[in-house]
Amino acid sequence: MDNYNLLQENIRKRIEVTDDEMSYFIFLLQQKKYTRKQIILREGEISHSFTFIVSGCIKSYLIDKKGEEHILTIAPSDWWITDINSFVSGTPGNLFMEAIEPTTTLLLSREKQELLLAKLPKFEKYFRILTEKAFAVSQQRIIDYMSLTALERLEKFAASYPSAIHSLTQQQIASYIGVTPSFFSRMIKGKNIF
Amino acid sequence: MDNYNLLQENIRKRIEVTDDEMSYFIFLLQQKKYTRKQIILREGEISHSFTFIVSGCIKSYLIDKKGEEHILTIAPSDWWITDINSFVSGTPGNLFMEAIEPTTTLLLSREKQELLLAKLPKFEKYFRILTEKAFAVSQQRIIDYMSLTALERLEKFAASYPSAIHSLTQQQIASYIGVTPSFFSRMIKGKNIF
DNA sequence: TTTGAAAAATGACCTAGGTCAACTGAGATG
DNA sequence: CATCTCAGTTGACCTAGGTCATTTTTCAAA
């Protein structure tokens, strides 16, 4: 049951729920464990679920037509992740998802989410708040892309993911902030960011 | 009353509501009209409301520290727009909003939204769906930034805003796709995109 | 119809960041 | 202990897109 504590707190921070309601939500979840580098979702597959990270870390990324990987999301524990495009449209997505370390998750499938929302509409609010937050973060990322240099984006990244910065490789961080590994290496030379 | 038809359809596409419920929603809205180039929101102000565009067009943008304008959103009629960061956190935002042509809008303030959701929780679903969609679009924009050239981004833009392309200036489009006006001009030379 | 301001085009030059290949070094596997 | 693989570094060179100043075009207002 321990695995559910983090999620329960996450929910109770946003909405008020009774123990019964919480139990019903938890009943709908499926626990999944992944090993380091295990691929969770491939390009072309439909993202059928929201994934809550209990422990570990998951990245979502796309491979462009030159074969380059670009990390879109880095989701540490206490975060939800999905390919939102695929999830909302129900069509095949263009993202991969991969565990970057051993990871335990709780899966809420689209169907189960619909059951949940039909039975306990107050969870609409929970998901609305989550999505608003995710949208806000995403908008900020666009702003940062448009108005900051690579080094400034790195500094922001380091500030917002203080722990991730040690568990991720430089390649991964470079990919997230949108530069090549070799430029990244040059960029941080001198600056004592690590 | 005509002004509300577009919004009513927009809502009924996503959730089922009775006429009474719809009337209550409409009762909470405030109609506002803006002239071309009228500024609706300034950097440092708090975005207290969602704005639905009945007719016309609104852009949101930020001015970076070099004084450059970067357009984040272009919202034609039948869209909602807000500075989501400011709106969800209730803190001052860093975006401007400006009408790019004479525009009629319907405003839903944060307070009124709370009244609405408290009284008619089914609207949670409406806003959740809106936000999911906006999030999906925003994620795709990040992907495009990371993996496409300026010309490819322009082609996508032209495809998704077929009408806007004639009512916007090149400067505005350039700003939206993230290049300078002079580069934009060179980039389209030869290509018959317009 | 003129005029004035803003949009667009363009020339000359610049730079942030990319490319590609070679090299180094450290942790995992035999 | 050896070796293999993969992350990181670095050199030499490249290019997409930026900068800035000048010119041309467009178009709204008087």
User: For the domain that residue B50 is a member of, what is the CATH number?
Assistant: 2.60.120.10
In a domain, B65, yes or no: yes
In a domain, A13, yes or no: yes
Strand D neighbours among B 163-192, CB < 7 A: 178-180, 182-183, 187
In a domain, A158, yes or no: no
Q: Residue A88 is nearest to which of B62, B133, B142, comparing CB atoms? A: B133
How many alpha carbons lie under 13 Å from residue B179 in its C-beta half-sphere?
20
Q: Which residues of A117-155 are buried (b: 16+ CB within 10 A; e: fewer)?
A: beebeebbbbbbbbbbbbbbebbbbbbbbbbbeeeebbe
Q: Which long-range contacts (CB under 8 A, 24 or more apart) does B78-81 make?
A: B78/B6, B78/B10, B78/B53, B79/B52, B79/B53, B80/B50, B80/B51, B80/B52, B80/B53, B80/B130, B80/B134, B81/B50, B81/B51, B81/B53
Interchain contact B134–A (C-beta under 8 A): yes
Residue of A nearest to B128 (CA): A128
Q: Cβ contacts (< 8 Å) between A88 and chain B: which residues?
A: 129, 132-133, 136
Cβ of residue A181 lies below 7 Å from strand D: yes
Res A192: pLDDT: 73
Q: Cβ contacts (< 8 Å) between A67 and chain B: which residues?
A: none
In a domain, B129, yes or no: no
Checking phi first, is residue A62 left (phi over 0); if not, alpha (psi -120 to 50) or beta?
A: beta
Res B167: pLDDT: 83
Contact flag A94-B143 (C-beta cutoff 8 Å): yes
Average per-residue pLDDT for chain A: 93
CA–C1' gap, B152 and C21, in angstroms? 29
Res B67: pLDDT: 84
Asked if A82 and A46 touch (Cβ cutoff 8 Å), the reply is: no
Tell whether the model's pLDDT for residue A1 goes beyond 60: no
* Number of independent structural domains in chain A: 1
Res A88: pLDDT: 92
Backbone angles phi, psi at B14, to 5 degrees: -110, -35
Distance CA A149, CA A177 (A): 10
In a domain, A40, yes or no: yes
pLDDT tens, residue by residue, A149-163: 999 999 999 999 888
**Angle (deg, nearest 10), helices A150-160 and A122-147:** 150
In a domain, A107, yes or no: yes
In a domain, A93, yes or no: yes
Range of the domain at B108: 2-120
In a domain, A28, yes or no: yes
Integer angstrom CA distances of residue A144 from A53, A158, B13, B59: 26, 14, 34, 18
Query: Which residues have CB under 8 Å from A124's CB, separation 6+?
Result: A117, B121, B124, B125, B128
Contact flag A142-B72 (C-beta cutoff 8 Å): yes
Distance CA A9, CA A119 (A): 21
Res B105: pLDDT: 95
Give residue B194's pLDDT band: very low, low, confident or very high (50, 70, 90).
low
Res B66: pLDDT: 84
pLDDT tens, residue by residue, A87-139: 999 999 999 999 988 999 999 999 999 999 999 999 999 999 999 999 999 99
Tell whether the model's pLDDT for residue B1 goes beyond 60: no
In chain B, residues 135-154 whose CB comes closer than 8 Å to chain A? 135-136, 138-143, 145-147
